[in-house]
Amino acid sequence: MRVVDRAEPKGAQKFYLVAVVRGLIVTMGHVMKNVLNPKRMPVVFYPEQKKDLPPATRGRHRLMKREDGAPRCTACMLCATACPAECIHIKAEESPDPNIEKLPERFEIDMLRCVFCGFCVDACPLDAIRMDVPDVTIAGYTRESMVYTKEFLMNHNNEDVVADYNPPRPVILTHGPHARP
């Protein structure tokens, strides 16, 4: 067992009174400051006011789109394989475009299982999935509503559409922090 020698109070300090009074003065200072000047309180009234999240926030997923609006995803299953929480469920279908082999018919992310590790983003060879929607209050009343479908994940204005697959990150969506598209 390791014994740590800490400075014990000596003499008059043993009554703690001076320290107590100094502490009380500190807290009273905060009370006076906040009562006399409530507008300067360093608080954000959360549901009414929201702070802008930093650009590099790892937020909710979104599925990127090609220029014609089709999903960039080719249902290669790399993200679903990389996912440690097994929250991504993909069902593939044949693509009408002869240059592209597959498309996701269904692409669902179970947000109740997702651990926000970002492995799916790293795994994706086409930059089809990103986690940059600055939405941190993910909530729902039913389990079903927490399974985000392909349509929901693609429902954004596809800012930062790029021809090459090395887009500069981070990306900020133009719509407000909490406006669900």
Partner 1 sequence: MDNQVFTLINIAVMTVVMWITPLQFVPFMIWLERKGSAIIQDRIGPNRAEIFGFRLFGMVHNFSDVVKLLNKENITPTHANRFFYTMAPFWSMTVSLLPLLIIPLAAPIDIFGHTVRFQAADFSVGILYILSITSMGVFAVILAGWASNNKFSLMGGIRSSAQMISYELSMGLAIVALLMVYQDAQVSSMVETQGRWLTVFGHELPLPNWGIFLQPVAFVLFLVASFAETNRNPFDLAEGESELVAGYHIEYSSVKFALFFMAEYSNMVVASFVIATLFLGGYQVPYFSTDVLAAHPQEVLIAVCILGFIKCILLGYLIGLKARQQETLFKKGVAKWEPFLFSGLFYGLAVVCLAGLFYAFNGSFAPWFGQVLTALLQMGCLLAKVLFFCWLFVWVRWTLPRFRYDQLMNLGWKMLLPLGLVNLLVTGVWLLISK
CA dist 96 and 5 (Å) reads 75
Q: Is residue 118 a contact partner of residue 79, using CB atoms and an 8 Å limit?
A: no
Contacts (CB under 8 A) with partner 1, residues 48-77:
48-49
Binding flags for partner 1, 121-160, as an x/- string (CB under 8 A): ----------------------------------------
- Which run of H or of E encompasses 91? strand 88-94
Q: How far is residue 153's CA from residue 106's CA, in Å, rounded to a whole number?
A: 11
Contact region with partner 1 (CB under 8 A), list: 33-41, 77-85, 111-119, 124-132: 33-41
Number of residues that bind partner 1 (CB under 8 A): 24
Q: Which residue of 1, 4, 7, 36 would you call a contact of partner 1, by CB under 8 A?
A: 36
150 neighbors 107 (Cβ within 8 angstroms): yes
Residue 74: CB minimum distance to partner 1, A:
47
Q: List Cα–Cα distances, 175 to 61, 67, 132, 135, in angstroms.
A: 15, 19, 12, 11
Residue numbers 5-24 binding partner 1 by CB under 8 A: 14-17, 20, 23-24
CB of 99 to partner 1, least distance (A): 52
Of 10, 39, 68, 144, which lies in the binding site for partner 1, with binding defined by CB under 8 A?
39
Residue 82 has which token pair? 């990389």
Q: What is the CA radius of gyration of the chain?
A: 26
Rule CB under 8 A: which residues touch partner 1? 14-17, 20, 23-24, 26-28, 30-31, 34-39, 41-43, 45, 48-49
